[in-house]
Chains A and B, each alone.
Chain A
Amino acid sequence: GNSVTQMEGPVTLSEEAFLTINCTYTATGYPSLFWYVQYPGEGLQLLLKATKADDKGSNKGFEATYRKETTSFHLEKGSVQVSDSAVYFCALGSAGGTSYGKLTFGQGTILTVHP
């Protein structure tokens, strides 16, 4: 079955540091890939997405590239801010059909950015 493995946290960085959160997946077919962000006490927000190999999703300075050859979708940001402190989830969609839109989530990575 489908599975997602995320980099273990927590990750602690200083402001303006470079961020990488690793995500690898196991799936059949050509799944969609997502990064969600959860700020303290809130629900999840879709951060970025990619639907096919070599697609690059980007939003708010974050980027992730769908790498089918390495089954990875690593999240990167060149210069983090204190306001980026949150929990980040990598998620795997399906190729549609009878999956009813169900997503497979990684365990989440806590990011804390200090001034």
Chain B
Amino acid sequence: SQTIHQWPATLVQPVGSPLSLECTVEGTSNPNLYWYRQAAGRGLQLLFYSVGIGQISSEVPQNLSASRPQDRQFILSSKKLLLSDSGFYLCAWSVYWGPPSMDEQYFGPGTRLTVT
């Protein structure tokens, strides 16, 4: 069966410090991978998605970046954190089987980031 891991679970970082959040997926190959941010415990904002190694698409311009060095590894980074980067970061995966595509995504447990 497939599983998705995120770490760390919680993180407190000062403004201006770097960030690295990691997500890994087990039990599937060539997944689509996604990073979301959830502010104030409500709506989801898609930040990045990736359809393959080294292929990253950005949905929202900001001081965050993403990388996919391996098929099942997705990393979210920042060189200098802002207060507004605080939030709950969720990684998700999906596999496109062809039409009719279910498009269902499976989410990790999330990382709670507090920038102080």
A-side residues, CB < 8 A to B, are 30-32, 34, 36, 41-46, 49, 51-52, 87, 89, 93-96, 99-103, 105, 107-108, 110
Contact = CB atoms under 8 A, between A and B. Distances in A.
Contacts of B105: 46, 101, 103
Contact of A101 (B32, B43, B108): B32
A101 B103 contact: yes
Given A43-B107, A87-B42, A107-B43, A101 B101 contact: yes
Contacts of A100: 32, 49, 51, 57, 96
Contacts of A46: 104-106
Q: Number of contact residues on B: which range applies?
A: 20 to 34
Q: Which of A42, A89, A94 has the most CB of B within 10 A?
A: A42
A31 B104 CA distance: 11
Contacts of B112: 41
